[in-house]
């Protein structure tokens, strides 16, 4: 018996996507560069994962890291990435844009939302940097966005659960509010219970050592502040399964 709570797993590789599905996730959010909070994945990753998975695949549309205030050129890139994701079989698009003053960038977001149709559209945690959460939520509803991913404007969903509850109540049936950020096996039932949400965004990762036996200690790739050269973070099917089990066994997740 499946839980009435929908579980979305954030992944950044084919292997992690397969692990998320094997662990019981209902949907994946496909990104690249999770160290930067998630960027647009490659065309090859979208196409390969779509062919391998039977669950829904939502694709991140984010051209760079840092803030969510984009130039016209960056929005042009987002437009092309939406077209490509649709062509490659994505089930949904994930995006987020803000103005310099911290409002939802309606002028730039509306054409992108319309371009994404008929796919479902999620507004991501750019929302957590907006200055007026209730006002921003109404703007997203007016834009026709289907779903909001948020940590309640805090570092984790547990810390922001009061704001999440208020957003869930405000949205009603007009938009899905999906908590995400720091959700673990220990707190997932509490986040769901206290927020009243019916969807949840998780990672459920572990560290995987590189297959490289020869390792040059005198050189590294990327910037000075960097992840380990010979270790990657991958989705763990067992952790996803544990998160799903915690939902199923909690009063919130029972049929």
User: What does the pLDDT average to over 157-183?
Assistant: 98
* Alpha-carbon gap, residue 218 to 196, rounded angstroms: 51
Phi, psi of 239 (to 5 degrees): -70, -40
- The DSSP secondary structure of 185-237, one letter per residue, reads TTTHHHHHHHH--SEEEE--EEEEE-S-S---TT--SS-SS---TTEEEEE-H
Write out pLDDT tens, residues 49-102. Answer: 999 999 999 999 999 999 999 999 999 999 999 999 999 999 999 999 999 999
- CA 130 – CA 160 distance, rounded (Å): 14
Beta bridge pairs of residue 57:
28
**pLDDT tens sequence across 28-53:** 999 999 988 999 999 999 999 999 99
Query: In whole angstroms, how far apart are CA 108 and each of 14, 48, 94, 242, 248?
Result: 31, 30, 14, 39, 40
Whether 131 and 160 have beta carbons less than 8 Å apart is answered as no
d(CA 229, CA 164): 37
Mean pLDDT within 1-23: 91
CATH of 6-253 given 3.20.20.380, 1.10.1530.10, 2.60.120.10, 3.40.50.150: 3.20.20.380
Looking at every residue in the chain, the average pLDDT score rounds to: 93
On the question of a cis peptide bond just before residue 214, with omega within 30 degrees of 0, the verdict is: no
Tens digits of per-residue pLDDT, 133-148?
Answer: 999 999 999 999 999 9
Mean pLDDT value of segment 20-32: 98
Q: Taking the model in full, what pTM does it have? A: 0.90
């Amino acid at each position: 018996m499946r839980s009435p709570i929908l579980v979305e797993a954030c992944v950044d590789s084919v292997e992690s996507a397969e692990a998320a599905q094997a662990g019981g996730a209902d949907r994946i959010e496909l990104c690249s560069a999770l160290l930067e909070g998630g960027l647009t994945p490659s065309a090859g990753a979208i196409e390969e994962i779509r062919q391998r998975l039977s669950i829904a695949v939502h694709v991140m549309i984010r051209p760079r890291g840092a803030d969510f205030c984009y130039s016209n050129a960056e929005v042009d890139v987002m437009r092309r990435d939406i077209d490509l994701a649709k062509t490659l079989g994505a089930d949904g698009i994930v995006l987020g844009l803000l103005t310099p003053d911290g409002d939802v960038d309606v002028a730039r977001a509306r054409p992108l939302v319309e371009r994404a149709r008929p796919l479902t559209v999620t507004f991501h945690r750019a929302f957590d940097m907006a200055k007026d959460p209730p006002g921003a939520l109404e703007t997203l509803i007016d834009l026709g966005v289907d779903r909001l991913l948020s940590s309640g404007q805090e570092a984790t969903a547990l810390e922001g659960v009061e704001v999440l509850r208020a957003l869930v109540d405000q949205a009603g049936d007009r938009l899905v509010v999906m908590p995400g950020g720091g959700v673990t096996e220990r707190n997932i039932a509490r986040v769901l219970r206290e927020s009243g949400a019916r969807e949840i965004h998780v990672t459920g990762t572990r560290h995987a050592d590189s297959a490289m036996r020869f390792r040059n200690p005198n050189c590294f790739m990327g910037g000075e502040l960097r992840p380990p050269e010979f270790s990657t973070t991958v989705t763990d099917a067992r952790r996803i399964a544990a998160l799903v089990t915690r939902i199923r066994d909690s009063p919130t997740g029972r049929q």
